[in-house]
């Protein structure tokens, strides 16, 4: 049986797979970036939880990361569209079907990455903060 953390990350990945961009989880950057863009979900850091007693609950602010990458002619517009689609996917269900108390994305910090012999990439890491509670930090 998967842990709550894994269930939440799987649900977040499922939200990303409905977007036009290719959505991967934990993979390496492929040699070619699809024309609609590429998203790679990284598990990130659950961080140090706040703990309450009676009943015992561990309250996490898990920081997952989405690597957003575009390549091609109008990278700026494509990147903006890609980031906006991530925001819309998260805003459509801020609890991931009741798994989280709240889900929010932080603003990306884009960079242009030159590629020898090809169009440069525009990429950023979009941090997604997953607020959830569990009775066991390993569950």
Q: 46-51 long-range CB contacts below 8 Å, 24 or more apart?
A: 46/5, 46/137, 49/137
Intervals of the chain under pLDDT 70: none
pLDDT value at residue 64: 98
Q: Is the pTM of this model over 0.85?
A: yes
pLDDT tens digits for range 47-71 = 999 999 989 999 999 999 999 999 9
Domains located in the chain, CATH noted: 4-134 (3.30.70.1700)
């Amino acid at each position: 049986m998967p842990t709550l953390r894994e269930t939440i990350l799987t649900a977040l990945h499922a939200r990303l797979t409905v977007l036009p961009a290719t959505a991967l989880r934990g993979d390496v950057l492929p040699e070619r970036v699809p024309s609609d863009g590429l998203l790679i979900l990284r598990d990130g850091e659950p961080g140090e939880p706040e703990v309450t007693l009676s009943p015992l609950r561990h309250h996490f602010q898990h920081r997952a990361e989405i690597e957003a990458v575009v390549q091609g002619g109008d990278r700026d517009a494509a990147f903006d569209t890609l980031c906006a689609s991530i925001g819309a996917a998260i805003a459509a269900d801020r609890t991931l079907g009741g798994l989280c108390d709240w889900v929010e994305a932080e603003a990306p910090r884009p960079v242009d990455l030159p590629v020898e012999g090809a169009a440069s990439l525009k990429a950023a890491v979009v941090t997604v903060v997953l607020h959830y509670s569990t009775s066991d930090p390993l569950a």
